Structures are given as C-alpha cells and as structure tokens.
Amino acid sequence: EAGVVQSPRYKIIEKKQPVAFWCNPISGHNTLYWYLQNLGQGPELLIRYENEEAVDDSQLPKDRFSAERLKGVDSTLKIQPAELGDSAVYLCASSLDQGQYNEQFFGPGTRLTVL
C-alpha cells in the first residue's frame, strides 16, 4: 500500500515569494492533516480536513497561509508571501477517520528554506 506522498521534498525560495506544497493521502483516508515542524521541535497542527471540509484551521495563520482539499483527496498548502520565519518542514498526514483512536500516517515532509 502506498503511503502519504508529498512534493516537493525540498524547496528554496526568497522571502516574499509564494510557495505551494502538495499532499496525496493514503487511499480511503477521510482525514487529512497539515503540520509544521521547526528544527528540534515536534510537529504543530496547522489544519485538519474531514473529506473536503476544513474542520479545524484555528492554528493556520490565515493572513498568509491557505489550504484546500479538492474532492476530499489531494490537498495543497500555500504560503503567500513567504517570510524568513516560515523556514521549516511541512508535514502532511492522513487517517481513516478523525479522533485519537485513528493512527495517523505521515508523509516525508517538505523542507522549506526561505532566504
């Protein structure tokens, strides 16, 4: 079974430029998560989707970050414009359903460097 796929794996941009990350969850997984992970810290939840609906985006900096999950499958996370402090790893995860009982499967992440 294929795991969570993310692309690109690495991205280097200059500040104020836009950037987008793509995630393809495991087939059949209704719940999709985007996390941000800074160096030396654990992942922090940005947004959670149930199918195509964003059910928790309270941690998403909406002035510059946006996300979508078209047709309840693939998802895209966008930053516009990027700032130096956005340099981090962006992780996508999926699970069969919401709730703590459902194991989350993580992708390898996209490492963003903002210069």
Partner 1 sequence: LAKTTQPISMDSYEGQEVNITCSHNNIATNDYITWYQQFPSQGPRFIIQGYKTKVTNEVASLFIPADRKSSTLSLPRVSLSDTAVYYCLVGDYKLSFGAGTTVTVRA
Among 13-21, 33-41, 63-71, 72-80, the segment contacting partner 1 (CB under 8 A): 33-41
Q: How far is the CB of 30 from partner 1 (least distance, A)?
A: 12
Q: DSSP code of 84?
A: G
Query: What string of DSSP letters covers 14-36?
Result: -TT--EEEEEE--TT--EEEEEE
Nearer to partner 1, 2 or 17 (CB): 2
Among 11-19, 41-49, 71-79, 80-88, the segment contacting partner 1 (CB under 8 A): 41-49
- Rounded to an integer, what distance in angstroms lies between the CA atom of residue 66 and that of residue 49? 13
